[in-house]
A and B are shown apart, each in its own frame.
Chain A
Amino acid sequence: MTVTAFALVRLRNLFAVVMLSGIFSLLAAVLYVVLDAVDVAFTEAAVGAGIATVLMLGTLALTTGVVKEAPRKPLAALLIVSLTGALLIFGTLDMPPYGDPNAPIHHHVAPRYIEKSGSEVGPPNIVTSVLASYRGYDTLGEVTVIFTAAAGILILLGGRRRPGKKRRTAGKTGG
């Protein structure tokens, strides 16, 4: 993953960048599988490696395939990124080791979900019951986000393409 990330930064050919970001997503999905987060891995593989790559390629077809050289070396940006990265790594130093049963996250609501979801909600996949039932509001919010995103793109790109030219049929809104 690190090699892919560095290659992503260095490459100037955007087609290769899109392909590499797809590979990066797939590697991330493999990482999630290793961490036993199968549902997340599934989503990452489908959305990150699949749909996002296709959409990027669609964008590339509309624009250009090679990035323009930056006018100057962005040293300030490098400094800010390094600082933020260092802070984030510093933050992880306090985290409990992976798989520690005494970690706070395992003592909040997780035991209740694991013990009760079988009798309260039913599905054997606890992820589903947490997502759809215990955290129903959150999932409703996520769906609303997707709806809003698609609606926003519809407004931005799906409107009338020729300003000054009247729409032929008022009732039909195909785009």
Chain B
Amino acid sequence: MKSKPVLRVTSKLLIPAIMLFALYVQFHGDFGPGGGFQAGVIFASAFILYALIFDIDTARKVVPAWMMRVGLASGLLLYAGVGVVGLLLGGKYLDYSVLADNPVIGQHLGITLIEFGVGVTVASAMITIFYLFAGQGRQPEDS
């Protein structure tokens, strides 16, 4: 889409704002509406916008597909791993109170970590699905 300067410039202005808003939704989820799911989707939509305006091959160079697969698994592993850490520290599975000396701080830490895991997994899943759908019907360069 090299012939659409308005779209290119506007999306360049919008994409950082979208990503910043995603991070805000991610880490402000404790205080306002939002959380990992929403933040992941918003973050993914920034990349999808990029891939729509510029080319999907350009987007693949920015965020390679393998990185998204790693993110897909590592987010879930982070979530489950926080539970296992809780087990090792003597609590119940997914009981975050034992993560720190103060139960409330432990809960806060645990929630932040698992929400981050949720966000990473959701964003990676959305981008992966989009890559796969949008990449159909054309010859991929590396698969």
Q: Which of A's residues lie within 8 Å of B, judged by CB?
A: 38-39, 41-43, 46-47, 50-51, 54-55, 58-59, 61-62, 119-125, 127-129, 131-133, 136-137, 139-140, 142-144, 146-147, 149-151, 153-154, 157-158, 160-161, 167-169, 172-175
Q: Which residue of A lies closest to B22 (CB)?
A: A46
Q: Which of B's residues lie within 8 Å of A, judged by CB?
A: 25, 29-35, 37-38, 41-42, 44-45, 48, 52, 60, 64-66, 69, 72-73, 75-76, 79-80, 83, 94, 96, 103-105, 107-108, 110-111, 114-115, 117-118, 121-122, 124-126, 128-137, 140, 142-143
Q: Are B111 and A129 in contact (CB under 8 A)?
A: yes
A169→B143 CA distance, assembly (Å) = 8
Q: Are A139 and B118 in contact (CB under 8 A)?
A: yes
- What is the minimal beta-carbon distance from B37 to any residue of chain A, in angstroms? 6
A sample of 29 inter-chain contacts (CB < 8 A) reads A43-B38, A51-B126, A54-B48, A54-B52, A55-B130, A58-B130, A62-B137, A120-B103, A122-B107, A123-B29, A123-B111, A131-B35, A132-B110, A132-B115, A133-B96, A133-B111, A140-B80, A142-B37, A146-B125, A149-B129, A150-B125, A153-B128, A154-B69, A157-B133, A157-B136, A158-B132, A160-B143, A172-B142, A174-B66
| Contact residues of B: prevailing secondary structure | helix
Within 8 Å by CB of B114, from A121, A132, A153, A174, lies A132
**B residues in contact with A160, CB < 8 Å:** 143
Q: Are B33 and A39 in contact (CB under 8 A)?
A: yes
A/B pair count, beta carbons within 8 Å: 163
**A residues in contact with B135, CB < 8 Å:** 175
| Contact residues of A: prevailing secondary structure | helix
- What is the minimal beta-carbon distance from B71 to any residue of chain A, in angstroms? 10
A172→B67 CA distance, assembly (Å) = 11
A140→B132 CA distance, assembly (Å) = 25
A43→B39 CA distance, assembly (Å) = 9
**B residues in contact with A161, CB < 8 Å:** 140, 143
Q: Are A158 and B124 in contact (CB under 8 A)?
A: no
**A residues in contact with B32, CB < 8 Å:** 125
- What is the minimal beta-carbon distance from B15 to any residue of chain A, in angstroms? 14
Q: Are B48 and A46 in contact (CB under 8 A)?
A: no
Q: Are A174 and B76 in contact (CB under 8 A)?
A: no
A173→B108 CA distance, assembly (Å) = 37
**B residues in contact with A128, CB < 8 Å:** 29-30, 35, 111, 115
Q: Are B131 and A51 in contact (CB under 8 A)?
A: no
Q: Are A46 and B133 in contact (CB under 8 A)?
A: no
With contact pairs A55-B129, A129-B111 given, residues A50 and B45 touching in the complex (Cβ less than 8 Å): yes
**B residues in contact with A54, CB < 8 Å:** 45, 48, 52, 130
